[in-house]
Amino acid sequence: MNRKTGRIVAIILCLSLAAGSYFCLAGKKRIKADSGVQTVMGTFVRIIVVAKNADTGTRCVEAGLAEIRKVDELMSDYKDDSEISLVNKKAAQQAVRVSESTFEVLQKSMAFSQLTDGAFDITIGPLVDIFHKTQKKHVAPTQEQIEQAKTKVGFEKLILDTENQTVRLADDGMRLDLGGIAKGYGVDKAVEAARRRGAVGVMVNIGGDVRCFGEPPEGRDHWLIGLQDPNSGGEGFNGGGLVLTLRVKNAAVATSGDYEQFVIIDGKRYSHIMNRKTGTSVEGLSSVTIISENATDADALATSVSVMGPEKGLALIETLPGIEAILMTPPPNSQILKTSGADKYIR
């Protein structure tokens, strides 16, 4: 399901504590439980829990991981038996009933499509397929291939029946891709599960989509999240230096960018983030980081702004209460662009 994981990953700067270590906060002993780095949704996952005792911490971590695996089982288009794969196979011929969770994500996706005038669009699957073929064969797509794929894209062709909780696709060949929202939703579900089981603090990180709640380890006032430089030329999780450090509490941070999943053919860069209107990869931004109350919104808006570009993207975020954005433009004239309220999160 990993569609937008990249080198700008959120690095939780307070991870120096060993898993299961104790600390005191205002005279109260706390345990820090750490899942370590897991692999789910085709990317890395880490959960850190602050709890009153070790048993509670362990239960919270396990509950969070279970929620993430559930989201992956329902919404991954890499799994043939997932609900989304079933929708992609059958919904052009008949209505397909899906779970409450999947239907909720589809409804949220439609809302973001309407908000962004189609910049966010989960029907983008046929165009994403072209990128993967381009990446694999190292051959640029033809305009004919792009135009043909575009006829199968459009959130307006996604039909949701709220009463029966079913999905229909208006055209054969349509394919849903939840890579721009499902990780954020998984983060939110994991945080909620940990809170229900007694966590007094929790951080969930799925491929750079992060949400923090409550008390951080060591009794700090905030969770610290580092953003790596997408233009540094480093590779992998540890590649690139930190360009900014964010201080967050009860907030989510998601980053989208074209810095890792791309291919260059005949001097042109093709990325996995697609613009449905042009049928081609987005350009103009190395990364987009969104700070929001929840990770679902942050995830979807990071993708949306990547497609919309800096001017329209920043203008949209400025209209949304409680949401901020930090954008990084590519070389040679790299810049950091921010919404008016973003500075309050920067350390």
Domain presence at residue 2: no
* CA distances to 75, 84, 103, 237, 276 from 100, in Å: 12, 13, 5, 34, 27
More confident call, 220 vs 7: 220
Q: What is the dihedral of CA 237, 347, 247, 71, to 10 degrees?
A: -30
Clarify whether residues 193 and 307 are in a common domain: yes
Clarify whether residues 184 and 64 are in a common domain: yes
Q: Which residues contact 158 (CB under 8 A, 6 or more apart)?
A: 106, 110, 122, 123, 167, 168, 169, 170, 174, 176
Domain presence at residue 201: yes
pLDDT (tens digit per residue) in 146-205:
899 999 999 999 999 999 999 999 999 999 999 999 999 999 999 999 999 999 999 999
Q: How many domains does the chain have?
A: 2
User: What is the span of the domain harbouring residue 299?
Assistant: 10-73+180-345
Clarify whether residues 196 and 322 are in a common domain: yes
Q: Which residues contact 154 (CB under 8 A, 6 or more apart)?
A: 118, 121, 123, 276
Least-confidence region, from 93-102, 223-232, 264-273:
264-273
Q: How many H helices and E strands in the chain?
A: 8, 20
pLDDT (tens digit per residue) in 280-339:
777 778 899 999 999 999 999 999 999 999 999 999 999 999 999 999 998 888 899 999
**Is residue 129 a contact partner of residue 78, using CB atoms and an 8 Å limit?**
no
Task: Pick the last residue of a domain from 169, 202, 223.
Answer: 169
Tokens 């897991």: give the residue: 38
Clarify whether residues 280 and 195 are in a common domain: yes
Q: How far apart are CA 174 and CA 157, in angstroms?
A: 9
Residue 216 has pLDDT above 70, yes or no: yes
Least-confidence region, from 64-73, 215-224, 234-243, 297-306:
234-243
Clarify whether residues 260 and 122 are in a common domain: no
Clarify whether residues 57 and 138 are in a common domain: no
Nearest-5° Cα angle at 110, 99 to 171: 85
Domain presence at residue 44: yes
Domain presence at residue 174: no
Tokens of 33: 């439980």
Residue 89 has pLDDT above 60, yes or no: yes
Task: Pick the last residue of a domain from 115, 134, 169.
Answer: 169
Q: Which residues contact 52 (CB under 8 A, 6 or more apart)?
A: 28, 29, 30, 31, 198, 200
Least-confidence region, from 2-6, 212-216, 318-322, 338-342:
2-6
Domain presence at residue 126: yes
Residue 13, amino acid? L
Clarify whether residues 324 and 224 are in a common domain: yes
Least-confidence region, from 38-47, 130-139, 267-276:
267-276
Q: What is the dihedral of CA 302, 246, 189, 107, to 10 degrees?
A: -20
